Structure 1
């Protein structure tokens, strides 16, 4: 960013310096041209007066002497032509094309007294001309050769001084622009470093408040925002830990009392009551576990969204795990429950089975295990097929079954908390499994995609960004 800003400021400073130098050089050229023009036109008018006097008295010797003296002093040629004679000095050739044009214009009583603007390099010889005589009759013409070499040398000196001053000014402007850019961008670089630190470590040091007022206010706002976000996340984590501790203790005590009651009433004539209490207690424990898992998943999802909002995490800060190992481990864990209800588990992988994903290994196993448990539960006695596909940029884990499946409306609603299909109320569950998987996938930059399997069944796919690296990084 600094290079781009310096590039723009450098271009603007170059245009400014060029415009300023051009204005100064143009003014200098006009001034030197005007001085030379005034001086030579004065000499031209003087020669016209002397020539008119010589023509009226027929005394040409004095005029020739004045012409020779002028040419010797200034090194410029003079030509005076009358009806019967032509006077020359300074080696001015009357047969030159430009001299002929000047004489012709002067014979038509058209004076040529305007000099072209001086240039530091180029022709140094110019002509001025005019006629002399009465108002009704042209008696002759005067052509004066103007040597602009001295004025051009002054102009070249001016160019050298202006160009040197322009270079010094440009260097000074670039140094000033670099300092101003550094002063403006230093807080921005600090903000970027702080955001990367917040994303990588979950903490951020307090930013110094310097630079322009707007960036100082931005630093204060970012520091306050990061403090509030980190405080909120810490409160959520603490709430989850406190809830887990405070609820599990009474539930465990209640479980102990129910077990003691079962021992005391083992010969009771009404065992169904105790069994109902035990079943409800099991349901409370299962619901408590699900709620705590969901709270943890939603907290992780919130952290992931907050960090992705400020930019992608550096590669060194990303989790990496092997989906193939996670699927294998969860298949081994699920094999016992699958054999109990007669469900057959099959696994299919692509050739690139060692691909890695940017996901927490524990949470990946938790998501795969939840999908397998859900499929085994609702497709009892059927088939559960796990497919692992590695693509160029993503890795997909698909768990499909040939159970009853769900309708399109149910697929949309099944990631809602505590939602359960009306057709499956008789199957034990909390309605939190798919919600937990959805939130954990979101926390790890992935997504849960649900669909139907032909002719019937459910297809649940976890899609994660593929991560570079190998086993040493996992």
Structure 2
């Protein structure tokens, strides 16, 4: 936007400077031309008067002296033509075509006393002519060569000064336009960045009050709105955390009473009737744990995006060895895999030590969630964990040969509480993939889900080097 505005202002300022320069140059050219014309026409009239007196007295000495004096002073040629003689002074050639035309027009009593407008470059001489004699009879013609070189030199100097002044003026106008554009657009860019920051992390920094009054008022309004949004989000997060925490006490009490009741029941139907209650309690406890974990992950995501918005001066993340963490999580998941007959496989070893910028505890949590998800849905199958690297990235894969997900469901798998229709009968909260996605993004990574042929699911954690 700044470039477009500067382009428009630059074109307008250029047109203004060109118009002003053209006006000055045109006025200078007219002034020099008029001054030269007045002087030379006065000299032409003087010579015509002397020539008329000489023709009347038939004494041409005074005229010749006058002509020689003029030519010596100005370096311009003069020709006087009468019926019986031609008087010349200077280097004006009487055989030139334009000289002959001037004589012919003067003989017809058509005076040529105007000088064409001067330009810095071009012919350095002009001709003016007129006849002399009585009102009824033309006795002769006078042709004067006007040397325009000195006037053209002055005009070139004027052009140079005007061009230099125009360049300086244009540079000054562009600089002024840049400052004004920056003054106007800087708050707009700051507002845009603040809106993007608000969209990304739900909060934004205090906007400085500068720029035009309308933009200052808009900055104040946006800051107030952002504070309200941030307060609302904080209240929502706090509500989730408080609710989950407060529900733990009654759920724990229910768990204790259910366990005591189960111990007191000795008959078969009574013990079977308590099992659905225990299953629902397990489901509620798992849901509470998942909600708290998700709230923590989303809070970490907000913190990570806020650090990215601050810039390169933000603190560096902790370093983690993905291969070592994946092997540790494989060992922890061994017991759960053995219960449903799932085989855990460690993939090819990565070439050399591979490290990435990620919180080790959170990376372990992500791998544990992915392994638990794969073991549950690929029961009796094979789950493979591998670490690899590509151009500028490190990835950790958890692949299984279970039923997987159709392509149209992969994008929905990271949504809160989403469960695949074909897996609704299995225990779960629908928060596992959501937690992994938020933690991966909080650490500058990405969770990518894809299908495995002929069937299965690959969950890949991608981190930039």
Interval of TM-score (by shorter of Structure 1 and Structure 2)? 0.7 to 0.9
Note the C-alpha offset of 1:273: 3.7
> How far did 1:393 drift?
4.3
2:460 maps to: 462
Q: Give the CA deviation at 1:33.
A: 0.3
Q: Per-residue deviation at 1:246?
A: 0.5
> 1:402 is matched with which residue?
401
1:389 aligns with 2:388: yes
Native 8 Å contact 1:343 1:384 kept in 2: yes
Instruction: Tell me the secondary structure at the aligned position of residue 210 of structure 1.
Output: coil
Counterpart Cα distance in 1 of 2:204 and 2:354: 33
Larger deviation, residues 99-108 vs 114-123: 114-123
Is the 2:71–2:77 contact (alpha carbons within 8 Å) kept by the matching residues of 1?
Answer: yes
State the Cα distance separating 1:24 from its structure 2 match: 0.8
**Alignment correspondent of 2:40:** 40
8 Å CA contact 1:102–1:129 kept in 2: the answer is no
For 1:286, the equivalent position in structure 2 comes to 286
> What SS does the corresponding residue of 1:399 show, helix, strand or coil?
strand
Task: Give a deviation string over 1:1-23, Cα, whole Å, max 9, x none.
Answer: 98997788677656644542332
Tell me which residue corresponds to 2:326: 327
State the SS of the aligned residue for 2:347.
strand
CA deviations over 1:317-364 (Å, ceiling 9, x no partner): 674654434423322321221233332211225745755556555444
2:237 is matched with 237
* Structure 1 residues 316 and 356: CA distance shift in structure 2, 3 A: farther
In the alignment, the residues of structure 1 paired with residue 370 and residue 255 of structure 2 have an alpha-carbon distance, to the nearest angstrom, of 29
Corresponding residue number in structure 1 for 2:103: 106
Matched, 1:259 2:259: yes
CA drift of 1:156 comes to 5.8
**DSSP 3-state at the match of 2:206:** coil
Cα distance change of structure 1 residues 261 and 392 upon mapping to structure 2, 3 Å threshold: same
User: Corresponding residue for 1:82?
Assistant: 82
Q: Contact conserved, 2:81 with 2:140, CA < 8 A, in 1?
A: yes
Task: Assess if the C-alpha contact under 8 Å between 1:103 and 1:129 holds in 2.
Answer: no
Counterpart for residue 428 of structure 2: 429
2:373 aligns with 374
The secondary structure found in structure 2 opposite 1:400 is strand
SS of aligned partner of 1:455: coil
Q: Taking structure 1 as reference, are residues 217 and 403 closer, same or farther at Cα in structure 2, changes over 3 Å only? A: same
TM-score scaled by structure 2? 0.78
SS across alignment from 1:283: helix
Mapped to 2, the partners of 1:75 and 1:388 lie a distance apart of 96
**What is residue 22 of structure 2 aligned with on the other side?**
22
Indicate the SS of the match to 1:211: coil
Q: What is the TM-score when the length of structure 1 is the normalising length? A: 0.77
1:373 positional shift: 0.7
Looking at structure 2, the residues matched to 392 and 464 of structure 1 have their Cα atoms a distance apart, in angstroms, of: 12
Query: Aligned pair in 2 of structure 1 residues 65, 425: CA closer, same or farther (>3 Å)?
Result: closer
Alpha-carbon contact 2:300-2:439 (below 8 Å) kept: yes
In 1, the alpha carbon distance for the partners of 2:226 and 2:78 equals: 88
Shift of 1:40: 1.6
* SS of the residue 2:387 aligns to: strand
CA distance in 2, matches of 1:286, 1:266: 26
How many positions carry a matched residue from both structures?
Answer: 460
- How far residue 275 of structure 1 moved from its aligned partner, in angstroms, is 4.2
CA RMSD across the alignment = 4.4
Alpha-carbon distance change, 296 to 33 in structure 1, aligned in 2, over 3 angstroms = same
Please name the residue that 1:248 is paired with: 248
1:285 Cα deviation after fit: 0.9
Q: Distance in 1 between matches of 2:424 and 2:210?
A: 62
Q: In structure 1, the residue corresponding to 2:250 is in which secondary structure?
A: helix
Residue 279 to residue 2, structure 1, CA distance change in 2 (3 Å):
closer
**Distance (whole Å) between structure 2 residues aligned to residue 124 and residue 35 of structure 1:** 16
Match for residue 271 of structure 2? 271
Distance 2:195 2:409 in 1: 40
Q: Does the 8 Å contact 1:207/1:220 carry over to 2?
A: yes
1:105-124 equivalent positions in 2, closer than 5 A? 105-108=102-105, 109=108, 112-119=112-119
